[in-house]
Amino acid sequence: MMKKYLSSIFILMFLLSFGQVDHYLRDSINEAIKTKFFIERNEKYGLKDSLGNLKTRIEFDDISIFDTKYFLVRKDTLYGVYGRNGKNIIPVNYREINNILPNSRNYQIADYRSDNFWYAYKYNPNIDHETFGIYSKNGEKKYPEKISYNRGIYELNNIRFAIVSIVDDQYFTYYNDKKINTYKDVVLKFNKNDISEYELPFEYKHLQFLEIQGNKIVVYTSPNGLTGFIDLKSNRKIEPRFKSYIFNDNKIFAKEREFYTTEIDKNLNFRERNENIIAALKEFEIIKYNENMSVLKGNTQANFSFPIISFQEIKDKEIPVLFKYFLDKDQTEKKYTQPGIISFDGKIHIKPSKKGSTSFNLINEGYHILDQIENKNKKNEVFLVKEWRSISPKSDSIEITFYNREGSEVMHFDKDLYDKYLKNCMQKTMSIKDNFLFANCYKHPDQYFFVYNLTSKKFIFKDKKGYFQPENDGKYKITNYDKESKQSTDEFYSKDLNFLYKIINKSQ
């Protein structure tokens, strides 16, 4: 009977680890497990077996289920791992322990869940931040705590490789007058329950995996600073001779001198281009054209050229690529201080400006768009945002203009409007939904907001107290908190911002 009960408990632990139970059942299971295996005394915890025999000291500040079959314990601010039988698997001296091979924000690599290893973090005084080591599930340390981050994962013949940056014990630099160690890249080979450093057949300083149509290429920087490429599957290699490279549209563009003239495919076949490529994004290439710059799409060149052209960076795949263009070649003595915006077909969305310091943002890049505006072709759709700043010892002036796809102005915040609604915000957010542009602004000690109708070009709410937000059911909600009565009021509005009802939430 006892064996069946224990079996049921650990089945429930397994379900918990994969989120296969609802919220209420999860709480019940946790309580059942705590009752059966945890012992509490004077706000400290320990582990016991099914018969009530104490298996650890009662000295932990917290215990939780970890990775299905184990328990994560915390003592003060440090963590360790124990097994079902009370055996200490990982010492209690780590800041964090998990079963995810961490990624680096710089390289946007998906986290990888590991069934065979744990990753344990501790503070590393040599570099003044945390590094992590690797443990097997039986508590054997497989790699010391000197990994700073993971730069990529590669699988070949069911064997996993990872490029990681580790603390280099031999070299150091100075930061803020403090001596710190530098980094070096190594390749770790994950083979079942074992980990080892994998030696590459060439000298390198830095490494990175680059995936091209399912094929992963190792990009490596040689000790002299030049870049080369190797395919570990075929061992095909391009010797390091490039100053830099860009990756775009499943192709590598590499340059030996001033321009990216070498195009490389997924199999490391390369060809020399006739065009002098300056930059590439999606299907477009910015090229040197006579004394100016122009844009190439496939074999078609745009019918315009300007002294300087650059990409207006975007992330949304549905938004076409736009280009910034400058009329002044010499940016040190420029008459037109700010660029214009043009599309490949030659349509000018915004003309160059002689004003101050300007930045552009696509509405769902620099600003928060909650969902796609219906009927993307309608003229009042906000497409581009331009901020103009004029900063001097006597003034700090900001204006914001919202444009549609045709380059027509939808809304303009001049200095007076900006100063009134946005200037003194300690925190502010601007969003678009259902043809409404709205902003929440915190001005100590109160929260304010405005709502602007992009169709009628009129304010619905101006400088109104409260917090404005959309609800999942299509309604809008305005929340106000009264400090004197200590109660909050939620006002609900329809999709067209017609008042529906309100709810008063009294504090307990």
Tokens standing for residue 15: 């379900």
Q: Which residue did the predictor score with more confidence, 30 or 89?
A: 89
Number of domains in the chain: 1
Residue 392 contacts by C-beta under 8 Å, 6 or more apart in sequence? none
| Residue 28 pLDDT greater than 80, yes or no | no
Averaged pLDDT for residues 109-137: 78
DSSP code, position 304: -
Tokens standing for residue 122: 């501790």
pLDDT confidence of residue 219:
94
Q: Which residue did the predictor score with more confidence, 453 or 82?
A: 82
Contact 63, 30 (CB under 8 A): no
Residue 147 within any structural domain of the chain: no
Q: What is the rounded distance in angstroms from the CA atom of residue 294 to the CA atom of residue 205? A: 36
Per-residue confidence at 244, pLDDT binned at 50, 70, 90?
A: very high
Run of H or E including 430: strand 427-433
| Residue 10 pLDDT greater than 90, yes or no | no
What own/partner pairs with CB < 8 Å and gap ≥ 24 does 154-161 have?
154/209, 154/216, 154/218, 154/232, 156/232, 156/233, 159/189, 159/190, 159/191, 160/189, 160/190, 160/191, 161/187, 161/188, 161/189, 161/190, 161/198, 161/232
* Closest by Cα among 382, 451, 389 to 423: 389
Residue 484 within any structural domain of the chain: no
| Residue 31 pLDDT greater than 80, yes or no | no
pLDDT confidence of residue 484:
79
Residue 486 within any structural domain of the chain: no
Residue 159 within any structural domain of the chain: no
Residue 500 within any structural domain of the chain: no
pLDDT confidence of residue 129:
80
Torsion of CA 292, 296, 300, 305, to 10 degrees: -20
Contact 375, 388 (CB under 8 A): no
| Residue 205 pLDDT greater than 90, yes or no | no
Model confidence, pTM? 0.65
pLDDT confidence of residue 240:
95
Residue 507 within any structural domain of the chain: no
Residue 235 within any structural domain of the chain: no
pLDDT confidence of residue 376:
39
Q: Which of 102-111, 166-175, 283-292, 436-445 has the highest mean pLDDT?
A: 283-292
For 390-416, letters b (16+ CB in 10 Å) and e give eeeeeeeebbbbbbbbebeebbebeee
Q: Which residue did the predictor score with more confidence, 483 or 336?
A: 483
Share of the chain above pLDDT 90, in %: 31
Averaged pLDDT for residues 291-314: 90
Domain that holds residue 57: 2-94
Whole-number average pLDDT of the chain: 79
pLDDT confidence of residue 259:
96
Per-residue confidence at 336, pLDDT binned at 50, 70, 90?
A: low
| Residue 267 pLDDT greater than 50, yes or no | yes
Residue 252 within any structural domain of the chain: no
Averaged pLDDT for residues 157-177: 78
| Residue 232 pLDDT greater than 60, yes or no | yes
* Closest by Cα among 160, 184, 162 to 171: 184
